[in-house]
């Protein structure tokens, strides 16, 4: 049985992920679960809920809550990384500063994502170093800390040999919805996909070897990538902002006759319409703080005083996907999953060392990307521009370069002009004083 540490234990996602682990104990046996967080107050609020989730399934799994790295990682076999540097207070600024200037306000797309990237690259490297110091030598870090594309590139540049697998649940969340539309379990889908994280396209969606993308497109043209009951079975994605996200895929899809865009492409390809519908005073961060966070904290309090835990957290595709990936790493299952991996020729006309998002076979040695071939010039060009923005941002963090940060902001498609880029960068330098490397 494995020792698993969750870095960012105080996240509102932790109870749901641990629940996903509990229902899969037969596949992924656990001796111990450790929560690790630098925010002690937040983690100790969430921990009793997590402990209850564990005890409902197992009396024998050891449960440890700590803010000490050695206690957290000593001998650990798997580390799930879900740190959120600056927490929701900084997510709110990532979203609101751009919106104030008429630019998309989003946690990973646009200037908000770049700002979040500059906060996260170096702490992620610190985490890797702590893990390498204390954990089992064969330990795997499964990283889904955002902004995943930038974090993955930062790790590749600074710790190229680290055993880190970078993942994002957006493709698998899309696949859950596709499965619901087609009436099959998402595990029955085999997809082809190319791009970068939060910036890519599905090119095939096979069920029993037959491409169902045309059928999906017909559904999406009417309803978006959403079914009535999908919204009900997934409370997170039933929030108004998420319903909008799944609906907005329709107008961008209409412009791609063959492929199915990742919903996040809406921020880059219909930026003006997105901004027009965003509320600069109330963003997704507010929705999460007033919704998911408040509900879970209230439930934790109620549990403390009454011993009864109300139904207050979501168990969804996010946790299930993480467990799938961990199983494939642990037991060399060679399952095919969409992950973020060094290109190595998978997309023939993107750089060999780009961190791309493609299907890959997950073995005990990591991800083996599947060849997706060359992509059309239009897509290649969009991808190259986004890649350059992300790579320049990582270089800005490493070198402390203002100039490269400005180039990164300027190349982001959500940013209309270099003047906007400079205004936003300067304002974000102020806002991120406690977090960014000096530029």
Give yes or no for a contact between 64 and 35, defined as CB atoms under 8 angstroms apart: yes
**Binding-site ranges for Mn ion (CB under 5 A):** 168, 170
410 bridge partner residues: none
Residues 165, 203: contact at Cβ < 8 Å?
no
Q: Is 94 a catalytic residue?
A: no
Closest approach of ligand G6P to the CB of residue 288, in Å: 5
Q: Cβ of residue 316: shortest distance to ligand G6P, in angstroms?
A: 9
Q: What whole-number distance in Å separates Cα of residue 147 and Cα of residue 317? A: 19
Residue closer to ligand G6P, measured from CB, 389 or 423: 389
Our answer to whether residue 264 is catalytic in this structure is yes
Q: What is d(CA 146, CA 152) in angstroms, rounded to the nearest whole number?
A: 9
Q: For 339-396, give the DSSP string.
A: EEEE-TTSBTTS-TT-EEEEEEEEETTEEEEPP-B---HHHHHHHHHHHHHHHHHHHH
Nearer to ligand G6P, 219 or 284 (CB): 284
User: Which residues does residue 268 pair with via DSSP β-bridges, in sequence order?
Assistant: none
Tokens of 429: 């330098």
The length of the chain in residues reads 439
- For ligand G6P, the closer of residues 288 and 421 by Cβ is 288
Kindly state the smallest distance separating residue 108's Cβ from ligand G6P, in Å: 6
CB closer to ligand G6P, 235 vs 416:
235
Active-site residue among 144, 264, 267, 268?
Answer: 264
Sign of the CA dihedral with 171 first, then 173, 317, and 34 last = positive
**Least gap, CB of 184 to ligand G6P (angstroms):** 22
- Contacts with ligand G6P by CB under 6 A lie at 108, 146, 168-170, 236, 284, 288
Q: What is the 8-class DSSP label of residue 209?
A: T
Min dist CB 259 to Mn ion, Å, is: 19
Q: Please check whether residue 47 is in contact with residue 9, taking contact to mean a CB–CB distance below 8 angstroms.
A: yes
Q: Which is nearer to ligand G6P, 168 or 372 (CB)?
A: 168
Question: With contact defined as beta carbons under 8 Å apart, do 189 and 178 qualify?
Answer: yes
Partner interacting with residue 82 (select from Mn ion, ligand G6P, none; CB below 5-8 Å by kind):
none
- Retrieve residue 174's tokens: 């899309």
**Considering 169, 192, 234, 324, which one is annotated as catalytic?**
169
Among all chains, which residue has been given the structure tokens 């979203």?
95
Residue number of the CB closest to ligand G6P reads 170
Point out the residues that are catalytic: 169, 264
């Amino acid at each position: 049985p494995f020792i698993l540490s969750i870095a960012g234990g105080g996240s509102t996602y932790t109870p749901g992920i641990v629940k996903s682990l509990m229902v899969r104990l037969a596949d992924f046996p656990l001796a111990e679960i450790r929560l690790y967080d630098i925010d002690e107050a937040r983690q100790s609020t969430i921990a009793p809920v997590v402990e209850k989730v564990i005890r409902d399934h197992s009396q024998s799994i050891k449960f440890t809550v700590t803010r000490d790295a050695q206690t957290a990682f000593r001998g650990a076999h798997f580390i799930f990384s879900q740190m959120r540097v600056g927490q929701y207070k900084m997510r709110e600024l990532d979203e609101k500063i751009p919106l104030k200037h008429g630019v998309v306000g989003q946690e990973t797309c646009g200037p908000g994502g770049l700002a979040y990237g500059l906060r996260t690259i170096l702490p992620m490297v610190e985490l890797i170093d702590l893990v390498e110091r204390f954990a089992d030598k064969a330990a795997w870090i499964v990283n889904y800390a955002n902004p995943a594309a930038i974090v993955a590139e930062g790790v590749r540049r600074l710790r190229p040999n680290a055993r880190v697998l970078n993942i994002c649940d957006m493709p698998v969340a899309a696949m859950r919805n596709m499965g619901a539309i087609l009436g099959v379990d998402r595990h029955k889908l085999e997809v082809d996909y190319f791009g970068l994280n939060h910036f890519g396209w599905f090119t095939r969606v096979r069920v029993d070897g037959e491409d169902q993308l045309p059928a999906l497109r017909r559904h999406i043209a009417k309803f978006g990538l959403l079914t009535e009951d999908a919204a009900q079975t997934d409370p997170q994605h039933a929030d108004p902002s998420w319903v909008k996200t799944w609906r907005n895929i329709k107008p961008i899809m209409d412009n791609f006759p063959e492929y199915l865009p990742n919903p996040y492409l809406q921020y880059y390809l219909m930026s003006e319409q997105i901004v027009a519908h965003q509320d600069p005073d109330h963003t997704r961060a507010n929705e999460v703080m007033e919704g998911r966070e408040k509900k879970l904290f209230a439930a934790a309090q109620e549990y403390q005083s009454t011993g009864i835990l109300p139904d207050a957290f979501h168990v969804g595709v996010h946790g299930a996907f993480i467990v799938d990936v961990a199983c494939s790493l642990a037991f060399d299952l060679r399952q095919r999953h969409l992950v973020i991996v060094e290109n190595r020729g998978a997309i023939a006309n993107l750089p060999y060392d780009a961190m791309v998002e493609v299907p890959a076979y997950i073995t005990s040695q990591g991800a083996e990307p599947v060849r997706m071939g060359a992509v059309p010039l239009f897509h290649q060009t969009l991808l190259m521009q986004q890649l350059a923005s992300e790579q320049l941002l990582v270089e800005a963090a490493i070198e402390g370069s203002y100039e490269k940060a400005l180039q990164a902001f300027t190349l982001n498609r959500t940013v209309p002009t270099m003047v906007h880029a400079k205004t936003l960068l300067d304002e974000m330098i102020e806002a991120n004083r406690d977090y960014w490397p000096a530029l």
